[in-house]
Structure 1
Amino acid sequence: MPNNPNDHSSDASTPLIRFAAVQKTYDGETLVVKDLNLAIEPGEFVTLLGPSGSGKTTCLMMLAGFEVPTSGDIFLRDQRLNSVPPHKRNFGMVFQNYALFPHMTVEENIRYPLKTRRLPAAEADRKVSEILDMIQLRDFAKRRPAQLSGGQQQRVALARSLVFEPQLVLMDEPLGALDKQLREQMQLEIKHLHEQLGLTVVFVTHDQSEALTMSDRVAVFNDGVIQQIDTPSNLYEYPANAFVAQFIGENNTLAGRIESVEGERCRASFGEGAATGAVLGPALAVGDATHLSIRPERIKLNGAARDLPNRLSARVHEFIYLGDHLRVRCALPGNDDFVARVPVDAFDSHLQPGDTVELGWRDEDVRALDAP
């Protein structure tokens, strides 16, 4: 198979896919997708992430051609796709329910898109053989889907979507039906296939750890709008607003107010007279309400907190053992469900629920964000 099936144009500067001011409503009143502008480059793995009803699946369905934008345009390179039917877009699709033909063997399922494209038999044989090796299912070629595990069926569905070398592969919650261990294994397999074949992938999920594991960029949706599109590390470390901070990874929130600003830093009050230094988020000024965002792994306990600029006392609710670390759930001013993540080898085993601990953190580990 070629290294880059996306290279269908000499103009490398043109995005492969572009949404231009796209809106979608089903009832003529409520916009499910609002003024969407999004460019996807050849070879990118872009995930559309968000809660149910946020608009991510509707975007994928419009890109696939199963839904039509109410307004705006979708482009493949310079070709406007709005009125192009799904079967003429030449995109691969993988769904959660696999959608395999039960009466066909693995080999016949994978061959099907080549047959519909009337590929010569010898070429079709070669492509099917190559991809059976790639997904490590050559020994299962003559079996039917009912004789396969869930993970094997998902590999067959993936192979069928790739065998005709599409410009773009669309995946709608493809791993949702798998158990945790198999799901994590398949995440890596899909990522490796993406890198190996130079695929362009648009992936929809509501699972933020899946999005962080697999993607070059993640578009976080809420209420029909992309709240932030960025690399996984930037989404986690530099969330644009309180929704993104809360949706990506585990997060502690403290409702507060901006007391002073100095450059990109600020001082914010919260709870009953407590205060902290923080990184100032977009469009905030002195006097504004804010949600302070702090990741659990950035919080230090007792001796480890001693030299940190922000310290306060908290009462321990419980310890939750998770193998390499413990989640320490505490009550402190402004948040009765505040979590610190402590490595097992740094944990004081004498601590008991009900004890008072000192928590500490650095200014740069707190982000002052909008108060929704």
Structure 2
Amino acid sequence: MDQLSTPTAETEKVSQTKPEDAYVRFDRVQKSYDGETLVVKDLNLDIAKGEFITLLGPSGSGKTTCLMMLAGFEPATHGEIFLDGRPINNVPPHKREIGMVFQNYALFPHMTVWENLAFPLQVRKLPKSDIEKKIGRALDMVQMSQFGGRRPAQLSGGQQQRIALARALVFEPQLVLMDEPLGALDKQLREHMQYEIKHIHENLGVTVVYVTHDQSEALTMSDRVAVFNDGVIQQLSTPDVLYEEPENSFVAQFIGENNKLTGTVKSLGNDGLCQVEIEGGHVVEALAVAVDQVGAPTTLSLRPERVEINPDEGATANRLEGRIEELIYLGDHIRTRMSVAGHDDFIVKVPNTHGHKIIKEGETAMVGWASQDCRALDPMPL
């Protein structure tokens, strides 16, 4: 269990944005609710102006706590948070000029849509003519112009979320925070709203900090994704790098579907590759990502779409025999569950194309993959 401590100079900087260019900056931020256990541990994170960054992780990983500290609803225990170069730890939430969108919409039920949008502008004492213009623009932006006279109870969940988004943007903040905003919507509507929010962000150029536990949502919408676990950022990368090049076993397992094979490092080459002995005495070649010595335990990470069934002889560096246990038709691909090297849940995604090779349940088949597609990472905890 991590105890509360003073941040050290050795704390690693998790950022690709230069500090002087950061619009939002967490500088060695810690958070504890009981004075002993750290929920957020020495967070260093720089967010560029206009960036869409997602804080992604399982429940209890610290991502929402970071958002609440940035909003001002929770104080930081240690460290400093900066907004546009100024420290904001002691600035109350209503003076930070930050837009907020919540999962439960947080609309005033006794007010009409128009009145909900007017409220943040009236608080700022804007002239009536300006208020009307800004509300009109905000409603147009979320395609809800004809609903200004309705109350929230007269709207669907998706419509309420559009209004909540419009209210967060109506006073033209430079920073918008979104806490699981699509969590209450059904799958189809949620996916549609992902693209809407992404396009609104692109059009307005505001800075967005988005919290979710849905990895596909994070990959769809974000410029960068910070993967949290146990109060620490495990990896901060663009969506493609996060998926293609996970730096540890937690990220590999949390992001997308992943085959994991446990083994022991037998040799390390000068070309960045290593030989790993897995169950059954099989030896496979992989990228040495998080291993640095012979004899070390490792977990191999391999994406299902990178595996080929019955590859041509010599086409792949790694070849193993397996048994086809289950075929599931999913339209664009056939999800093939196999038993390979003692693992009964080895998954291969076979593209549903006219030229794909016919396979059947119960058959024995070879599976193959390139060394560069297999990553030798830290051993998964038992």
Common fold: TM-score over 0.5: yes
Q: Tell me which residue corresponds to 2:47.
A: 40
Q: What SS does the corresponding residue of 1:142 show, helix, strand or coil?
A: coil
Counterpart code for 2:218: A
Q: Tell me which residue corresponds to 2:9.
A: none
Query: What do residues 286-319 of structure 1 show as CA deviations (whole Å, max 9, x unaligned)?
Result: 2111100000000000145762121111111101
Check if 1:124 corresponds to 2:163.
no
Q: Structure 1 residues 160, 167: closer, same or farther in 2, change over 3 A?
A: same
Q: Tell me which residue corresponds to 2:324.
A: 316
Q: CA RMSD in A?
A: 1.5
Greater mean deviation of Cα atoms: 298-307 or 168-177: 298-307
2:295 to 277, 287, 312: 287
Q: Tell me which residue corresponds to 1:182.
A: 189
Q: Tell me which residue corresponds to 1:70.
A: 77
Counterpart code for 1:357: A
Aligned residues of 2:302 and 2:374 also touching (Cα < 8 A): yes
Q: Structure 1 residues 303, 266: closer, same or farther in 2, change over 3 A?
A: closer
Q: How many residues align?
A: 361
What does 1:191-270 align with in structure 2 at a 5 Å threshold?
A: 191-263=198-270, 264-270=272-278
Aligned residues of 1:305 and 1:361 also touching (Cα < 8 A): no
Q: Structure 1 residues 13, 80: closer, same or farther in 2, change over 3 A?
A: closer
Q: Structure 1 residues 192, 333: closer, same or farther in 2, change over 3 A?
A: same
Q: Tell me which residue corresponds to 1:140.
A: 147
Identity across matched positions, percent: 61
Report the TM-score when normalising by structure 2.
0.92
Deviation for aligned residue 1:229: 0.3
Gaps of at least 5 residues in structure 1 are 1-10
1:53 to 60, 64, 69: 60
Greater mean deviation of Cα atoms: 54-63 or 279-288: 279-288
Write the distance in 1 (CA, Å) between the matches of 2:58 and 2:167: 29
Write the distance in 1 (CA, Å) between the matches of 2:345 and 2:46: 39
Deviation for aligned residue 1:73: 0.8
Q: What SS does the corresponding residue of 1:323 show, helix, strand or coil?
A: coil
Q: Tell me which residue corresponds to 1:364.
A: 372
Aligned residues of 2:53 and 2:224 also touching (Cα < 8 A): yes
Q: Tell me which residue corresponds to 1:337.
A: 345
Write the distance in 2 (CA, Å) between the matches of 1:283 and 1:326: 33
Check if 1:169 corresponds to 2:176.
yes
Deviation for aligned residue 1:335: 1.7
Counterpart code for 2:274: C
Deviation for aligned residue 1:77: 2.3
Query: What do residues 155-212 of structure 1 show as CA deviations (whole Å, max 9, x unaligned)?
Result: 0000000010112100000000000110011000000010100010000000000000
What does 1:13-32 align with in structure 2 at a 5 Å threshold?
A: 13-32=20-39
Deviation for aligned residue 1:348: 3.8
Deviation for aligned residue 1:29: 1.8
Check if 1:82 corresponds to 2:92.
no
Query: What do residues 204-229 of structure 1 show as CA deviations (whole Å, max 9, x unaligned)?
Result: 00000000000000000000000000
Greater mean deviation of Cα atoms: 206-215 or 295-304: 295-304
Deviation for aligned residue 1:13: 4.2
Q: Tell me which residue corresponds to 1:8.
A: none
Q: Tell me which residue corresponds to 2:5.
A: none
Write the distance in 2 (CA, Å) between the matches of 1:358 and 1:305: 10
Write the distance in 2 (CA, Å) between the matches of 1:188 and 1:285: 45
Aligned residues of 2:311 and 2:367 also touching (Cα < 8 A): no
Aligned residues of 2:40 and 2:231 also touching (Cα < 8 A): yes
Write the distance in 2 (CA, Å) between the matches of 1:111 and 1:143: 14
Deviation for aligned residue 1:27: 1.3
Write the distance in 1 (CA, Å) between the matches of 2:230 and 2:356: 41
Deviation for aligned residue 1:107: 1.2
Q: Tell me which residue corresponds to 1:7.
A: none
